[in-house]
Amino acid sequence: MAELLIHGGRRLSGRVDVEGNKNAALPLLAACLLTTETCEIRNVPHIRDVAVMIDLLQSLGATVEGRGTSTLRVTCRDIRSSEPDPKLVGKLRGSVLLLGALLGRQKRAVIAPPGGDFPARRSIATHLRALVGLGARIVDTPAGHAIEAPDGLAGASMYLVEASVTGTETALLAAAQASGPTEIRNAACEPHVAELCRFLAAMGVGVEGTGTSTIRIAPPGRLTGATHVLRGDYIEAASWAVVAAVTGGEVEVTGVHEQDLEPIAAVLAELHLRFELEDNRFAVFPSSLVGARRITTGLWPGFPSDIVSLVTVLATQAQGGTLVHDWMYELRLFALEQLSAMRADLFLCDPHRIIVTGPTKLRGRTLDSRDIRSGMALIAAALAAEGQSTVLEIETVERGYQDVVERLRALGADVARQED
């Protein structure tokens, strides 16, 4: 494992170009299993999670060209297994997407318990219910999940009890291979779900309702190869904006879409952050931050849980109090308890709510990155702090942020990656 040594107190400045959306790259790679023809995905981020998904596809028999570049060409002509490598599955939450893709292609899928962030707290019940609704049946297995559809999948009308992103994507991947149309209600509306819809449409699938909570799928007789350019990762863009703001710096982030960032920008404005936002540009300027009173996560287009850790760190540098309420995941807020030892004024009300009072001059210390987003938030806190901090297991952050150490250095941060 590696750790990141950070000497804080420097104002960051410069420009960051964001890569494609990680949360879109994974379902699109899974969708390549739906056809025997070659698919091309461009603007792919060079991150650990994408590398694991490539390994999973190759373990199933796929050919992947362009690994290590921003353009991948994936051909799934001969799929030799319906059971992805359990060790790889245990590294990646997004491996659950292979269930829907393999079920339609192989009429069977067996998957170990998916890993990634908070694996014990994140159920795949929504995914399984959607697949059963399409005619699949669950098979008993000693560990993980096994599901089969020996007679193929059939289109259906379904309501998702939870507007799960990966649950919606699983349903879409399976429905694209079913016989007959499917309607999915209470579908997740996030931009990366819309990207999967557009990719499926390019493969020949009839798709209505892209970007809405009701999506209709009309599968073609045969799915073809397709080409897609990933949109810029709005969570990554917001992360770099917060890193700049918490250090009192000035950073321009490019490669973003204004509409994708609106829910986050609205909350940053409540904190009195000065910024300019337009398509392909998100510029942050030194600001006199003020507590936002209350920040609550929500389903899209609400404030995304993925950025709540970083905004909580930003609130430590704002004048007054901010109540942060993340009703979706509790472990992110637990990870931020470490800020108390950095002199942050925090009160953890319960696993979902934390009160932050600022501004506080943080002090460096050793920090433990427990998931991608809270890990990046702790890096931001260390950059704003006096003295030296050590962020352990930096590989966790590298799962979702490309070249994070090199980019921090380019902005003027005093950081060093060190093997433990």
Task: Please identify, among 180, 214, 229, the residue that sits at the C-terminal boundary of a domain.
Answer: 229
Question: What is the token pair recorded at 342?
Answer: 């950095």
Identify the pLDDT of residue 335.
82
Same domain, 318 and 412: yes
Phi, psi of 415 (to 5 degrees): -135, 155
Residues 6+ apart with CB under 8 A from 221: none
Alpha helices by DSSP H, 322-367: 331-335
* Residue 399 domain boundaries: 2-18+232-419
Residues 224 and 236 in one domain: no
Res 119: pLDDT: 43
User: 116-171: per-residue pLDDT in tens?
Assistant: 554 445 689 999 999 999 999 999 988 889 999 999 999 999 999 999 999 999 99
The residue whose two tokens read 């209709």 is: 216
In the chain, the number of structural domains is 2
Write out the E strands in 198-290.
206-208, 214-218, 227-229, 250-254, 274-278, 281-285
- 251 and 212 assigned to the same domain: no
The separation between the first and the last C-alpha atoms of the chain, rounded to the nearest angstrom, is: 6
Rounded CA-CA distance 415/420 in Å is 15
Shared domain for 132 and 39, answered yes or no, is yes
Question: What gap in Å lies between CA 237 and CA 368, rounded to an integer?
Answer: 23
Q: CA 401 to CA 27: how far, in whole Å?
A: 18
Catalytic residues: 117
Q: Is the dihedral of CA 399, 400, 402, 406 positive or negative?
A: negative
**Cβ pair 45, 233 in contact under 8 A:** yes
- 378 within 8 A of 367, measured Cβ to Cβ: yes
C-alpha span between 71 and 19 (Å, rounded): 12
C-alpha triplet 338, 344, 345: angle, nearest 5°:
115
In DSSP notation, 269-314 reads: HHTT-EEEEETTEEEEE----B--EEEEB-STTSB-GGGHHHHHHH
- Say if residue 8 is in the same domain as residue 71: no
CA distance 48 to 116: 11
Same structural domain, 353 and 254: yes
203 shares its domain with 88: yes
**How would DSSP label each residue in 71-101?**
EEEEE-S----SS--HHHHTT-GGGGGHHHH
Give pTM, 2 decimals: 0.95
Residues near 120 by beta carbon (within 8 Å), at least 6 away in sequence = none
Residues contacting 325, CB < 8 A, separation 6+: 294, 295, 296, 297, 352, 353
Residue pLDDT tens, the chain, 420 long: 899 999 999 999 999 999 999 999 999 999 999 999 999 999 999 999 999 999 999 999 999 999 999 999 999 999 999 999 999 999 999 999 999 999 999 999 999 998 755 444 568 999 999 999 999 999 998 888 999 999 999 999 999 999 999 999 999 999 999 999 999 999 999 999 999 999 999 999 999 999 999 999 999 989 999 999 999 999 999 999 999 999 999 999 999 999 999 999 999 999 999 999 999 999 999 999 999 999 999 999 999 999 999 999 999 999 999 999 998 877 678 788 899 999 999 999 998 999 999 999 999 999 998 899 999 999 999 999 999 999 999 999 999 999 999 999 999 999 999 987
Residue 94 and residue 23: Cα distance in Å, rounded?
Answer: 8
Closest CA to 408 of 235, 234, 249: 249
Write down which residue in 206, 229, 252 finishes a domain.
229
pLDDT, position 121: 52
Same domain, 222 and 283: no
Q: Which CATH number characterizes residue 94's domain? A: 3.65.10.10
Bond from prior residue into 286 cis (ω within 30 degrees of 0)? no
**121 exposure class (CB count in 10 Å sphere: 0-12, 13-18, 19+):** exposed
**148, β-bridge pairs:** 108, 137
Question: Rounded to an integer, what distance in angstroms lies between the CA atom of residue 204 and that of residue 17?
Answer: 32
Domain match, 253 and 135 both:
no
User: 80 and 188: one domain?
Assistant: yes
Quickly count: other Cβ atoms within 10 Å of residue 58's Cβ.
15
**Which of 194, 229, 264 is the C-terminal boundary of a domain?**
229
Co-location of 13 and 115 in the same domain:
no
Measured CA to CA, the distance from residue 313 to residue 244 in angstroms comes to 12
Same domain, 382 and 243: yes
Dihedrals φ, ψ of 136, to 5°?
Answer: -80, 165
